A and B are shown apart, each in its own frame.
Chain A
């Protein structure tokens, strides 16, 4: 499963976001998540892939950007 798909699954299952508003261009804040929920989401993603999301990189805006960041960190870890 790609990181985008995993993030999508978390949003639907844990954060009760409707599947049809989840798109790469969607912003997390527009999906109804507050700062604690966003932090929880990031924690779950980092936990799943065994990566560390540095605070200074965690200010992406859209889902697509977030998934790209996660993919980059997964690659870097594997390298």
Chain B
């Protein structure tokens, strides 16, 4: 996946949401997802698509970390998952039955399908992970916070290991209509659907919803070393702060405070950072505010940062966005390559930092990188990682 991002590939396309008679053509970053190799048929009864995605991502993380033995994961690990809406498609199914059929007899499994902690619970059940389980619902920064909290729990000595990430699957008709009504979704660009998510561009028009799950295994450094694990990179800082401003409009102040909190948590000066994976949803207002916040938080060093908006390629995964984008940041550190902001053919003069337009870049001296997640409601979360 990282190689495709580095090459500037966008998976955004136009799909029909709803029916031919009642629905909408929307831009989407859909997930080609098949859970059948991992999830047994009987379990599907009790798993919304979001939980299936979480389990598959957890499987990949655990097996990639060589922590699966006879299909069981580390029993004492904690689980920290971000999820914005929970079993969104199951909510829609239940209400549709209730209102269309005027029946109070909805699916008995509706509640466990819908509850937002289902992805974390299914990971726990499936892989025998029995430590504490937390689910964070903080809109676009849910999974950044989940990872940050897991990092702190390990650093503070509460856990040796945590499965941390996010899952979101809300691409059902009713939910999409709600997002459309907010007028934050991108319009199709003349160059086509894949070109429509345009962070930092003069002609940006909003974001494209995605769906999916990204999960990491975090482990205390000494424990990882002792068992000969090969980490991708190291988490070194997490900071969070609130705007206290507006439900949908971001504010510079809260973003600055979150970035400063992350740097302080990592014990780093701003000058240490080489790359920022920006939140950059490509809304006209949001991108400019983030650039202003970067300038304020990083001072003169902001001009030396590489800042890319990878939502240009993978869309906005909301509850899973923080985890996906942090994973991309870790891979950038590991591979010493910075993914581009795709579709940045015409930079907005007000976003006048180095936004890595269109082409990825080698970065052989990249040591520290930042990942920003700035949620609706002004809940900001920032993670910092170091090359491993």
Contact = CB atoms under 8 A, between A and B. Distances in A.
Interface string A1-43: 0000000000001111000000000000000000011011011
Given A14-B45, A36-B46, A43 B105 contact: yes
Given A16-B42, A43-B108, 9 more contacts: A14-B42, A15-B45, A16-B40, A16-B41, A36-B46, A37-B42, A37-B45, A40-B109, A46-B105
A52 interface: yes
Nearest to A46: B105
B96 interface: no
A40 B45 contact: yes
Contact of A39 (B40, B41, B44, B108): B108
A36 B105 contact: no
Nearest to B40: A16
B303 interface: no
In the complex, which range does the number of interface residues on chain B fall in? 10 to 19
Interface of B: 40-42, 44-46, 105, 107-109, 112
A75 to B, nearest CB: 20
B102 to A, nearest CB: 12
Contacts of A16: 40-42
Interface size class of A (residues with CB under 8 A): 10 to 19
Contacts of A40: 45, 107-109
A43 B45 CA distance: 12
A52 B105 contact: yes
A36 B40 contact: no
Contacts of B46: 36
12 contacts: A14-B44, A14-B45, A15-B45, A16-B40, A36-B108, A36-B112, A37-B42, A39-B109, A40-B45, A43-B107, A46-B105, A52-B105
B contacts with A: majority SS? loop
A36 B44 CA distance: 13
Contacts of A52: 105
B104 to A, nearest CB: 10
A36 B41 contact: no
Give the top 10 A-B pairs by smallest Cβ distance, nearest first. A39-B108, A16-B42, A16-B41, A40-B109, A40-B108, A43-B108, A43-B107, A40-B45, A15-B42, A36-B109
Contacts of B112: 36
A36 B112 CA distance: 10
A40 B107 CA distance: 7
Contacts of B44: 14
Nearest to A42: B108
Among A13, A36, A46, chain B packs the most CB atoms within 10 A around the CB of: A36
Contacts of A46: 105
Contacts of A14: 41-42, 44-45
A39 B107 CA distance: 8
Contacts of A36: 46, 108-109, 112
A7 to B, nearest CB: 15
A11 B303 CA distance: 63
Contacts of A15: 42, 45
B105 to A, nearest CB: 7
Contacts of A43: 105, 107-108
Contacts of B41: 13-14, 16
Nearest to A38: B108
A74 B42 CA distance: 28
A40 B47 CA distance: 13
Contacts of B40: 16
A40 B41 CA distance: 14
A46 B108 CA distance: 12
Nearest to A32: B42
Contacts of B105: 43, 46, 52
Contacts of A37: 42, 45
A37 B40 CA distance: 14
Nearest to A33: B42
A17 to B, nearest CB: 9
